[in-house]
């Protein structure tokens, strides 16, 4: 680049500049598209977002952009820092400065340091906080907090803070609304089932007061029509489920039915079951919720009906058989209820997102390695050409003088080709 990428380095918040998590990048064309290749400051080789030895200080990275080997600088996100980057692509017209409503909403709510991306068609917002679990991108919105690097321009957006602010609640809400999109996913699952709404129970948990002691509740569950299923799960048997998480969810749905959605009683009963494990009390969510708390919440939200002691029916299955299970199906087939399938689809979706993210990272690494190999090959070819030319010159001089070319070559190395 003829001009420095960052005109005013001091515009970049000190929170970022003080960390030795900087790389450089240069733009190369790959498959007809411009690609930003991460470069190690000072060395010029390939930099990796997971190898700290390829990073440097902000000053060192900035200095290297003055050479022909780098076009800009980038900040690397790691597990050891609280920085989260929000990437908003294709949302700005660089000629008119018009911005999409969604991007404006995200920038306004995050209310933290924001800059224009190198292309001029997007924005980068940096905050401190913790990225919620689940997918990290949807459409033109991406969120990163580790093993990635952000190009940094210093092209600060006016009327946004000059500091990296803590915005945990905001990033959690934005992740849910713009990336996770739970409402759309739930609606999609409902449509796939022919319009059935899993959140519309025939009996609302809030309208039911079961008021059964633990022993009485367990006795009723063990004498119900689905007692075999309950007994297996209660004893910690996960046969028929692809993971223990799915089994946890299935037992919690049964407990939700029998307790009338009483979270406290569900919690104390689950702790008595054979499925209890250390993971139950681990914090897995940005709002501080544990795995167990969220499992109970989801079980209550997806349970279609609750036990009503006044109805005199102790044999109801809280979910019943799925639509595809016909009369005469085996108990094992009936166990795969609508809630079980919904939970299984959710887990599979999360796994697909994880694999897609991993594949994307590996693809980027392959592209950067290929680019580095190409650069080194060109450099080696240039050096070979210089060596051949030097050898030809040495051979010509030796032929003219009749001297041994080896001493002449050595003299030129010491005296710069001058004759004494």
Q: Give the whole-angstrom CA distance, residue 222 versus residue 232.
A: 10
Contacts of 7 (CB under 8 A, 6+ apart): 154
Same domain, 141 and 216: no
Q: Give the whole-angstrom CA distance, residue 419 versus residue 277.
A: 84
Same domain, 29 and 144: yes
Same domain, 206 and 176: no
Q: Please indicate, yes or no, if residue 403 is contained in any of the structural domains.
A: no
Q: How many domains are contained in the chain?
A: 2
Q: Give the whole-angstrom CA distance, residue 96 versus residue 29.
A: 27
Same domain, 167 and 132: yes
Which one is predicted more confidently, 399 or 133? 133
Share of the chain above pLDDT 90, in %: 39
pLDDT band, residue 341 (cuts 50/70/90): low
Q: Please indicate, yes or no, if residue 72 is contained in any of the structural domains.
A: yes
Q: Which helix (H) or strand (E) holds 123?
A: strand 123-128
* Terminal alpha carbon distance of the chain: 45
Full residue range of the structural domain in which residue 100 is found: 9-180
pLDDT at 288: 73
Q: Please indicate, yes or no, if residue 319 is contained in any of the structural domains.
A: yes
Among 307, 337, 352, the domain-final residue is 352
pLDDT per residue over 140-193, tens digit each? 999 999 889 999 999 999 999 999 999 999 999 999 999 985 444 444 444 443
Is the pLDDT assigned to residue 41 strictly greater than 80? yes
DSSP labels for 165-184? -B-HHHHHHHIIIIII-HHH
Q: Give the whole-angstrom CA distance, residue 379 versus residue 222.
A: 75
Same domain, 155 and 24: yes
Is the pLDDT assigned to residue 204 strictly greater than 90? no
Same domain, 292 and 245: yes
Task: Specify whether the CB–CB gap between 201 and 306 falls below 8 A.
Answer: yes
Mean pLDDT, the chain, as a whole number?
79
pLDDT band, residue 197 (cuts 50/70/90): very low
Q: Compute the average pLDDT of residues 383-399.
A: 74
Same domain, 337 and 234: yes
Q: Give the whole-angstrom CA distance, residue 179 versus residue 142.
A: 8
DSSP labels for 295-342? HHHHHHHH------GGGT-----SS---TTPPTT--HHHHHS-HHHHH
Which of the 8 DSSP states describes residue 352?
H
Task: Specify whether the CB–CB gap between 45 and 372 falls below 8 A.
Answer: yes
């Amino acid at each position: 680049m003829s001009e420095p990428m960052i005109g005013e380095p001091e515009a970049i918040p000190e929170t970022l500049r003080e960390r030795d998590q900087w790389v450089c990048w240069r733009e190369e064309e790959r498959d007809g598209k411009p690609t930003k290749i991460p470069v190690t400051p000072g060395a010029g080789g390939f930099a990796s977002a997971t190898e700290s030895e390829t990073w440097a200080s902000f000053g060192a990275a900035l200095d290297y952009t003055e050479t022909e080997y780098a076009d800009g600088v980038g900040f690397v996100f790691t597990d050891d820092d609280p920085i989260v980057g929000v990437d908003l692509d294709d949302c700005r017209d660089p000629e008119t400065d018009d911005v999409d409503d969604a991007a404006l909403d995200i920038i306004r709510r995050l209310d933290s340091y924001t800059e224009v991306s190198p292309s001029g068609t997007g924005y980068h917002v940096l905050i401190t906080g913790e990225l919620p679990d689940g997918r990290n991108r949807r459409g033109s919105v991406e969120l990163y907090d580790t093993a990635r690097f952000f190009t940094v321009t210093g092209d600060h957006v006016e009327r946004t803070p000059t500091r990296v602010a803590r915005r945990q609640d905001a990033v959690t809400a934005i992740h849910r609304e713009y990336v996770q999109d739970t409402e759309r996913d739930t609606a999609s699952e409902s449509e796939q089932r022919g319009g059935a709404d899993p959140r519309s129970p025939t009996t609302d948990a809030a309208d039911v007061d079961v008021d059964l002691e633990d022993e009485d509740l367990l006795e009723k569950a063990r004498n119900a029509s689905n007692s075999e299923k309950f007994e297996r799960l209660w004893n910690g048997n996960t046969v028929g489920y692809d993971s223990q998480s799915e089994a946890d969810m299935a037992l919690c749905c049964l407990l939700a039915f029998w307790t009338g959605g009483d979270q406290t009683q569900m919690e104390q009963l689950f702790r008595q079951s054979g499925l209890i494990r250390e993971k139950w009390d681990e914090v897995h969510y940005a709002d501080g919720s544990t795995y167990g708390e969220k499992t109970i919440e989801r079980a209550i939200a997806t349970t279609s009906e609750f036990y009503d002691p006044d109805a005199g029916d102790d044999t109801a299955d809280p979910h019943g058989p799925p639509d595809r299970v016909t009369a005469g199906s085996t108990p094992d087939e009936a166990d795969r209820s609508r809630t079980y399938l919904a939970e299984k689809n959710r887990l599979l979706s999360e796994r697909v997102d994880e694999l897609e993210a991993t594949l994307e990272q590996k693809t980027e690494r392959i592209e950067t390695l290929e680019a580095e190999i190409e650069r080194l090959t060109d450099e080696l070819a240039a050096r070979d050409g210089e060596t051949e030319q030097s050898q030809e010159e040495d051979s010509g001089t030796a032929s003219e003088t009749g001297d041994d070319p080896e001493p002449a070559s050595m003299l030129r190395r010491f005296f710069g080709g001058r004759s004494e």
